[in-house]
Chain A
């Protein structure tokens, strides 16, 4: 066999192994959530291409920067704010109420998180932020469990709107965390993450209160 020739038997063996490769591989479980968030946010990573879909090559498509738009935590956090403060009267009422803190988050940590959310300087590092993140996660779980048991008093429309809002906030949290994985000292991202957690806890808390009447 010369340097540039390939033994036919070995090539056939290779092709036999190739034919046994799976044609389908399960994607990450959160992929659809990201796609849906992107669709519902109403923006695209590409412009409207001029070529037909069957022309073979999509032309006229451009990325608006290195990250696809749905990967930008700035955009997703903003979308979360918009959705949470949507025209839904019920959701607006749920957010508008101010009530005593019953979220279960340690008061000291809640104060710290509120400070993080509003402090333009932000926490010094992601490590500092994760100290209190676990409290938020616990609060979210507790509130979610309570709301599930109380949701019978809420209309399907309210539940659907709440689900949409939570989904967008969750996506913002996920994307902020992903971005922080690459840039853990980014205070802007940490503050966005804190804001998203704050929004989620507040939304769940007020909706729970509304469900309880």
Chain B
């Protein structure tokens, strides 16, 4: 394991120590053996995509997204021994992220108030009729303003590429619920972007 000796800069990337020939699998192997530096390289490789997922799942709330992302990587570290390579490591991380989001929502009563039940398809959403027709909402903001259930379905299906069945299994809901939430997301986004 390597350590750099800078005193004032505690986050100097370790790319200088990373062999260009070292595969991701070898890095994961090193991390599974307790090499935190190797895990940092894994973090550097995957953190952007994980953070993007967390940011969109958390409705654009940067603090909550950062907390979720950090929780995901801490969980990943603790559960590295369970990763057997049967799926892509990025897919495994993304499952951890969704699971962490759901568990946080269940344990945090404040967040539960914002995370709507996936079965509830009757919510009108954040686009009140009184919104100014002149207001042009860009897509990221529109996604952030979706009701939580619709947003989760949309982010996982249309951005991250998961299938309805995969989403339903991970969220513990019916496939029909996922489809209904996705349909609602499409309607609300089209409505918002057409203004």
A: residues with CB less than 8 A from B are 4, 6-7, 10-11, 14-15, 17-18, 21-36, 38-40, 44-46, 48-49, 52-54, 56-58, 61-63, 66, 68, 70-71, 144, 147-148, 151, 156, 159-160, 162-163, 166-167, 170
Contact = CB atoms under 8 A, between A and B. Distances in A.
A31 B5 CA distance: 20
A36 to B, nearest CB: 6
Given A11-B186, A14-B193, A68-B70, A63 B99 contact: no
Nearest to B85: A54
A15 B40 CA distance: 34
A189 B162 CA distance: 43
Interface of B: 3, 5-8, 10-11, 36, 39-40, 43-44, 47-52, 55, 62, 66-67, 69-71, 73-75, 77-79, 82-84, 86-87, 92, 95-96, 99-100, 103-104, 107-108, 139-140, 158-159, 166, 169-170, 172, 183, 186-187, 189-190, 193-194
A88 to B, nearest CB: 14
Given A27-B69, A28-B66, A61-B99, A147 B7 contact: yes
A21 B67 CA distance: 22
Contact of A21 (B43, B78, B139, B194): B139
Contacts of A23: 49, 52, 159
Given A22-B52, A68-B67, A15 B43 contact: no
B79 A57 contact: no
A56 to B, nearest CB: 6
Contact of B92 (A32, A46, A53, A68): A53
Contacts of A52: 82, 84
Given A32-B40, A68-B71, A166-B10, 13 more contacts: A14-B190, A21-B139, A31-B66, A35-B77, A45-B75, A46-B75, A46-B103, A61-B103, A144-B7, A151-B7, A156-B5, A159-B5, A163-B10
B129 to A, nearest CB: 14
A32 B159 contact: no
Contacts, number: 158
B69 A31 contact: yes
A26 B73 CA distance: 15
A21 B7 CA distance: 38
Nearest to B77: A39
B39 to A, nearest CB: 7
Task: Tell me what chain B mostly uses at the interface: helix, strand, loop, or mixed.
Answer: helix
A58 B55 CA distance: 20
10 contacts: A11-B190, A24-B51, A25-B52, A25-B55, A35-B73, A46-B74, A56-B166, A56-B169, A58-B79, A144-B8
B71 A45 contact: yes
Contacts of A11: 186, 190
B189 A32 contact: no
A6 B96 contact: no
A149 B134 CA distance: 59
B95 A6 contact: no
Contacts of B66: 27-28, 31
Contact of A32 (B11, B183, B193): B11
B99 A14 contact: no
